[in-house]
Amino acid sequence: MRYVCRICGYTYDPEAGDPSQGIAPGTAFADLPEAWVCPVCGADRSLFQPESAPEATEEGPGGRVVIVGNGVAGFTVAWELVKRRRGLEIHIAAEERYHYYARPQLPRFLAGELGIEDLLFYEPSWYEAQGIRVWLRDPVVRVDREGRQAELRSGQILSYDWLVIASGSRPATPPIVGRELSGVFTLRTIDDALAIRESALDAQQAVVVGGGLLGLEAGKGLLSLGLSVTVVEVNDHLLPRQLDREGGEVLQRLLEQQGMRFVLGNSVARLVGMDRVREVHLENGQRLRADLVLISAGIRPEIELARDAGLTCDRGVIVDDYLRTSDARIYACGDVAQHRGRIYGIIPPALDQAQVVAANILGEKVEYHGSIPTASLKVAGIDLTSVGDVLAEGPGVEHIRLMQPEEGRYRKLVLREGKAVGAIAIGFRDQVPRLLQIVAEQADLRSIRRELENPDFDFAS
């Protein structure tokens, strides 16, 4: 059986194996070594699922589930439900015209390395076989909580027993003067990427506003299209949420070797041009030539539907430990959900939350206690993973670093009272699975504290 990475959509085929990691053809997924990770995004084996949902063996109580959104959270709720229980009627109402696809792979699609068919997880026939009705380009526009009905943009009314709000997020766009000019984009959907690719045909110089994960990956995609690329980041180093300054400097050097340029510690004052953007003016007075600008400045949860329905919202839709909203028949998960004051905005927590929502719809009373944030940079030639609280400070916190900038390698382990709470690995791909494990377990490393400072210490051994 083939297995699909739930992060990026890579499919492990036992008949082919994985030559990049020395996995011989004929190796079953269950027989892969513990250190094996997704060769595309670095996800560990726990984030893979069978290509086809196993046939459910239990009969369910019946009822209809309506899911708002077909991103990773919404799709995973549906997948978990059909995997575990027969008898439910499942509807997914989506804004986009495409079935669920690997959003983290959009930069590679932008670069022309992948086609639309490579992004899609499943053909439409798969959904039909699983009994999932998908309403494409027909999102939910209104919820009648008292009548338990969801109205679609087409006017279709869907009654529900359970409603799942997995509407995700949209790109946050700072109030930059000139952002309405032609040639200025955000990247969130396939259609966004198609529009950027078309604009890039007449462009030579691109500026990316934001040095986070998506900004850097998209910047590399633009570089692959033949544009010169400059990234503007307001912080003094790249990936400020996932890396410390030392790690950011190592990453910057690696990306500069690939041709990207950077302006750090500065922000955009205005975009200038007649009809199309031609220059980017920075707050310090510096001017950058640009005929294509990509703004990648974070996300805003899509809470409007929930707020209009009278659900309790803050920055996101407020949920309890069962991921219920202020209406017990309505759940929320993924980028739109705010749990214990936190919105994660990354895929692994969305997967965790979707599994909890599905379990609770099935009456299992499962609590969600938060997720350990894990992120990887998907740029060819760079292996970067950040997990846990990599920026922790305070009493009892230690940062143990191994710096090899000339080799493009950096490793950091964060301990709190001797227990692992965070890690950064750049260029240590073989050690990533073990680092993920010890941070997830908050392993007590006091007994080997001195060995951790040895440059030759290998977490993979």
Band (pLDDT 50/70/90 cuts) for residue 381 is confident
> Poorest-confidence range of 167-171, 309-313, 435-439?
435-439
Tell me the angle at which helices 347-361 and 72-84 cross, rounded to the nearest 10 degrees: 40
Dihedral (C-alpha) 167, 173, 175, 181: value to the nearest 10 degrees?
-120
pLDDT band at 355 (very low <50, low <70, confident <90, very high): very high
Q: Which of 293, 100, 274, 280 is nearest to 196 (CA)?
A: 293
| Lowest mean pLDDT across 52-56, 181-185, 345-349, 440-444 | 52-56
Average pLDDT over residues 241-269: 97
Position 15 pLDDT exceeds 60: yes
Place of tokens 């003094």: 236
| Model pLDDT, residue 70 | 97
> Does the global pTM surpass 0.85?
yes
Name beta bridge partners: 376: 385
CA-based nearest residue to 435, from 386, 377, 392, 380: 386
Closest by CA position to 280, among listed 294, 259, 265: 294
Backbone angles phi, psi at 454, to 5 degrees: -75, 120
The predicted pLDDT at position 364 comes to 93
What confidence tens digit (pLDDT) does each residue in 441-461 have? 999 999 999 999 888 888 877
Look at residue 51 in the predicted model and tell me its pLDDT: 83
Instruction: Compute φ and ψ for 216, nearest 5 degrees.
Output: -70, -40
Rounded mean pLDDT of 206-231?
A: 97
The continuous run of DSSP H or E covering 383 comes out as: strand 382-388
- Which of 456, 437, 434, 381 is closest to 35 using CA atoms? 434
Burial 3-25 (b: 16+ CB within 10 A, else e): bbbbbbbbebebeebbeeeebee
d(CA 301, CA 343): 9
Higher per-residue confidence, 235 vs 84: 235
Tens-place pLDDT, residues 270-284: 999 999 999 999 999
Give the chain's radius of gyration (CA, Å). Answer: 23
CA distance 197 to 204: 12
In the chain, the percentage of residues whose pLDDT exceeds 70 is: 98
DSSP class per residue in 55-92: PP-SB----EEEEE--SHHHHHHHHHHHHH-BS-EEEE
User: Tokens for 296?
Assistant: 């990648």
**53 pLDDT tier (thresholds 50, 70, 90):** low
Residue 60 pLDDT exceeds 70: no
